[in-house]
Structure 1
């Protein structure tokens, strides 16, 4: 099963300590990967988001969350079939993987929905990064068969983690999702980021800061 999933041969003889450790490591990796694309799955994405929002609260370093949605994806499935839809999803995942830095985390979080966590991405570069991803995807054609190619576009929404504030992954996702909704409402195939990083603390974040248990577990 592990080799069918793309993992290399396990180290050591079957039953040895090295072999068993290899099995454990491979299974842990499988549990955090989306089966279709090989990107991080939603579970791994949410865990990474929690770690990143905690890091930003502690260090004040900027971090950007991008949400991407393939435009009119239902038309692809309805017109070409679900197998073609899978090919499109895999192609988009490959492009995202190729465009990000080693420190970034691209993930598939839903059917045609993707997300990227970008640590240490200053606001001055956020729009440029998001637009580069959108333009790269728009410029690619995806081969559905020997004589059949398809172009797709994505809508992108982005938000920065609040600096020096104890927040939550849910609030961060909600703010990025609001920008994604705006990108779709304005015609799709565009990027919409918060104009500036959020400096106001929400009532929920104030409650987390002053009413909850200590978040410093070091």
Structure 2
């Protein structure tokens, strides 16, 4: 089946450049931006947006200053309580802490809660520095504003992720409407659209394009004698064998019941004849076993090419290939006929 999904408008929803940038940017990069803003806004050595653990995030060794700061931050569990310690060296609980009394000599620490869309605590903003700070009401308000910006970024990321999932689901649903559910080939509207698109592309590129109209000879009788389920199983295997004979970018579609269209972009009538013969021989070589009896299946194929029938529209090309198929049926099963201009037996 091998049409690109872009041919049917199934690409990810086209969005403006701003939304594209949001989708493309990694979550870690967004968080790092807020941390840089926090460092500059409050003139501190470091700022973390902690979701419970920040050690290991920097990729540095545990003996690096950044990792020591992260380890100190991680000793504080996420909490809705606003924690402000202006001077850790004067604090009864932290004065003797190894990262306070020793390297890197942390003196100042603040923790501020960050909430998710559901109002639940999801993270904390952490400020650290190596000198004491007086954290007044104005700075508390600034930190609250920064926390709100982080919350909005988290909400926007969630919305974007939901949007991406919706676009994926929409793409799958659109694709499902174009695919034959049993065989996995394009259905009739899709294969006809494929033909139109490829004819336009090949015409612009100055290349030929060919169309094969294929009919499974014995399927109707097998369906009448052995039932639909068995006939469908045989069709599934037959389609798999047809796919093995065409290129990945050729398009295969179910046109009607046991009839198939195969679009061969860039293929001349000679190449198309070779492909049709390869399909015919492949199908004939693989017998089907039904009730312990081997049955040789065959196909009839009619083909039409734009290098023979120039300037024809898709409907006429389909009609020419169909007439060639009817001529092949009249000649007997297991036959390939090519539509040629003025050929008498092309008339129905």
Q: Please say whether Structure 1 and Structure 2 have the same fold, judged by a TM-score greater than 0.5.
A: yes
Q: TM-score range with shorter-chain normalisation?
A: 0.7 to 0.9
CA distance in 2 between partners of 1:91 and 1:164 (Å)? 33
TM-score (norm 1): 0.76
Give yes or no for the alignment of 1:169 onto 2:314. Answer: yes
Q: Which residue does 2:209 correspond to in 1?
A: 63
Give yes or no for the alignment of 1:120 onto 2:266. Answer: yes
Distance change (3 Å), C-alpha of 1:25 and 1:148: farther
2:246–2:275 contact (8 Å) kept in structure 1: no
Larger radius of gyration: 2
**Deviation string for 1:146-172 (max 9, x for gaps)?**
x56543110000000258954321100
CA distance in 2 between partners of 1:31 and 1:56 (Å)? 26
Bigger drift between 158-167 and 83-92 goes to 158-167
SS in 1 for 2:284: helix
Q: Which residue does 1:73 correspond to in 2?
A: 219
Give yes or no for the alignment of 1:99 onto 2:260. Answer: no
TM-score (norm 2): 0.49
Give structure 2 stretches of 5+ with no counterpart.
1-157, 343-348
The two structures, once aligned, show a CA RMSD in angstroms of: 2.6
Give yes or no for the alignment of 1:142 onto 2:283. Answer: no
Q: 1:51 aligns with which of 197, 205, 210?
A: 197
Distance change (3 Å), C-alpha of 1:164 and 1:153: closer
Q: Which residue does 2:77 correspond to in 1?
A: none
| Runs of at least 4 residues off by over 6 Å | none
1:68–1:115 contact (8 Å) kept in structure 2: yes
2:268–2:306 contact (8 Å) kept in structure 1: no
**5 Å matches for 1:24-39?**
24-39=170-185
Q: Which residue does 1:8 correspond to in 2?
A: none
CA distance in 1 between partners of 2:170 and 2:293 (Å)? 41
CA distance in 1 between partners of 2:200 and 2:320 (Å)? 17
Give yes or no for the alignment of 1:130 onto 2:276. Answer: yes
How many residues end up aligned between the 2 structures?
A: 185
SS in 2 for 1:85: helix
Distance change (3 Å), C-alpha of 1:149 and 1:29: farther
Q: 1:180 aligns with which of 299, 303, 325?
A: 325
CA distance in 1 between partners of 2:309 and 2:202 (Å)? 7
Tell me: higher relative CO, structure 1 or 2? Use CA pairs within 8 A at least 6 residues apart.
1
1:108–1:114 contact (8 Å) kept in structure 2: yes
2:268–2:307 contact (8 Å) kept in structure 1: no
Bigger drift between 51-60 and 32-41 goes to 51-60
